[in-house]
Structure 1
Amino acid sequence: MTSKKISSRLQLRKKPQQERSIQRLDAIMEAAVDLIAMHGVADLKMTDIAARAGVPIGSLYQFFPEKAAIIRAFHDRHTAIVQERAELAFPDVKSTDQAIEMLSKLFDEFYQLYRADRTYLPVWMAGMTDRDFQELNLAHLERLTDIIYGALKHLVADNHQSAFRLRVHMVLYLSGALARFAMVRDEVSAQEYLAEWKSMGARTLFEFND
């Protein structure tokens, strides 16, 4: 499926310019947050969102062509925050130990961010079976990989660069999967899994046999 088809199906129909339109869009998004938190994505209905937001259904469709576009809006919020924070996480890395410490802190930050967000897990799960969202998630993973790899590649010998980028990609993917696994467990158990992963995952990035 082409990116053009993805954008036409999922993108915001219009960007609000006037204060009234901005407030209306904010109300729509807040209503969607509440409904997703209460009922999940599968039972989310455009009519329910409009009613809870106190806007005419026509106004809702002015912004979003279908429910999937609202889910895309949440997806974009999540990925933008993650990418922005990752870009700021490694200002001046001098050693692999420092990199591992920074990666561990970043992982903790992302986990707490996800756990506090009432829409993150339902939105991610909704996208699991949607091809458009699968492509969006893959694009996000590639971008995040580029950010982390770009910040840390100077710590790795030239002959290991290809393998290092591959490892960054895999560790990021597995970190996301583990964070989502931890989110559905009690916090004590979650922290045990997270601690083990931080000990294992980050260190494997830099262990090469020369």
Structure 2
Amino acid sequence: MPRKTPEVVVEPVRRNPTQQRSRERQERILAVATQLIASKGSDQLKMSEIAERCEISIGSLYQYFPDKSSVIQTLAERYNAESRHCIEEALAAVEDAPGLNAAFSALLDEYYEIVLASPAMRDIWSGMQADKQLMALELQESRIAGGLLADVMMRVYPGRAAGEVQASAFLIWHLGEATMRLAISCAPEEGRSLVEAFKRMSLREIMGLAAEKKGFATADPVS
């Protein structure tokens, strides 16, 4: 039997505008896409409708974004960059366990407010789950964000095994993303309660490392 030639997958190429007019048009496209996602959901996002609302031809739109996935990816990348900046800024000055406790708590509160202020993010997340490449992007971002948290945890708990800390930080951050999605899908009061519950759970793991380091985890409970 003749050997089947492997299929070559060519990924779409996004245009990187350099001129002011092109950058403004790209921003307009992304703004319109965000509005449509917020009102209709990512599943109902259509390139033809984006072009119509931007008053450009579909051919012009494809010069900037070759398909719907590339639009969603760009929006997700921007959101990820903003989130990463918040993490770095919140954790930069942490030097001890109490500081980590306070900074992580404040970071989750700020992160939740950012998500609440960006109603399209829930549907952008949903659109990413239906695309393997976008799912890989999300996983990669969780690793990066988890790595930022792990670096601070190692600074606070230098005696811990790096692999253990990295695994905990990666899991905490990835579950945190899932918590935010769930929280903004619920009524505001319930959503806030879910964020607070996750905060307690994750801080027990983070602060538990300090207890283990000092030998408290294996100590007999006080009677």
TM-score between both structures, scaled by the size of structure 2:
0.85
1:104 is matched with which residue?
A: 105
Percent of aligned pairs with the same amino acid: 24
1:31 is matched with which residue?
A: 32
Give the secondary structure class of the aligned counterpart of 1:105: helix
1:162 is matched with which residue?
A: 163
Give the secondary structure class of the aligned counterpart of 2:130: coil
Give the secondary structure class of the aligned counterpart of 2:207: coil
Give the secondary structure class of the aligned counterpart of 1:158: coil
Identify unmatched segments of 5+ residues in structure 1.
Answer: none
- C-alpha separation between the residues in 1 aligned to 2:141 and 2:95? 27
- C-alpha separation between the residues in 2 aligned to 1:71 and 1:195? 29
Give the secondary structure class of the aligned counterpart of 2:92: coil
How far residue 196 of structure 1 moved from its aligned partner, in angstroms, is 2.1
2:199 is matched with which residue?
A: 198
Count, aligned residues: 204
- C-alpha separation between the residues in 2 aligned to 1:121 and 1:31? 16
Q: 1:1-210 residue pairs with structure 2 within 5 A?
A: 8-9=11-12, 11-12=13-14, 14-208=15-209, 209=212, 210=215
TM-score between both structures, scaled by the size of structure 1:
0.90
Identify unmatched segments of 5+ residues in structure 2.
Answer: 1-8, 216-223
- C-alpha separation between the residues in 1 aligned to 2:160 and 2:89? 27
The C-alpha deviation readout for 1:44-98, integer Å capped at 9, x for no partner, is 1111000011112111011111111101111101111111221121222232121
- C-alpha separation between the residues in 1 aligned to 2:196 and 2:80? 24
Which stretches of structure 1, 4 residues or more, deviate above 3 A after TM superposition? Answer: none
Q: Which amino acid aligns with 1:153?
A: M
- C-alpha separation between the residues in 2 aligned to 1:91 and 1:30? 32
